[in-house]
Amino acid sequence: MVTSVLDEHYMRLALDEARAARRFGEVPVGAILVSDGRVLARGHNAPIAQHDPTAHAEIVVVRAAARSSGNYRLPGTVLYVTLEPCAMCVGALVHARIARLVYGAADPRAGAAGSVFDLARDTHFNHRLEVTGGVLEAECRGIIQEFFQNRRGR
């Protein structure tokens, strides 16, 4: 099991990606995919830039790691993401056989790893994810709240 010190380290890298998304005018969500202590892929939300509604940070990272590894399955990997994934993203993580999901802030509107739905551990699927939430939660929530406050002109 990865220690909380490592979880915080990788979540800080995901926060760097979230800040990059913010600079591009995207909702600031960042993600990092790790295997055996090595970062396989990193990315951030990019639906506006890519003209792709599926270009959430998690999907961007899973696609990059699958391409670089030459395999659509990514067993034994850990995904760090600043916001709890939506149903689309959890579905992709299940299909990719990601072993563990670590997220920062819960998403009370669309979270699919325990907040609104719990697709990550749903027994109907043939794969379930180990889930750890709340890593650097205040910082992860803060960057998203600030983004939307600025967008609303507050």
Please identify every residue annotated as catalytic: 58
Rounded alpha-carbon distances, angstroms, from residue 73 to 27, 43, 46, 58, 68: 27, 18, 23, 14, 12
Task: Provide the 10 A C-beta neighbour count for residue 44.
Answer: 28
With H, G, I as helix, E, B as strand and everything else as coil, classify residue 102: strand
Q: Could you tell me which of 80, 83, 79, 111 has the C-alpha nearest to residue 95?
A: 79
| DSSP H helical ranges for 24-151 | 47-50, 57-69, 87-96, 137-151
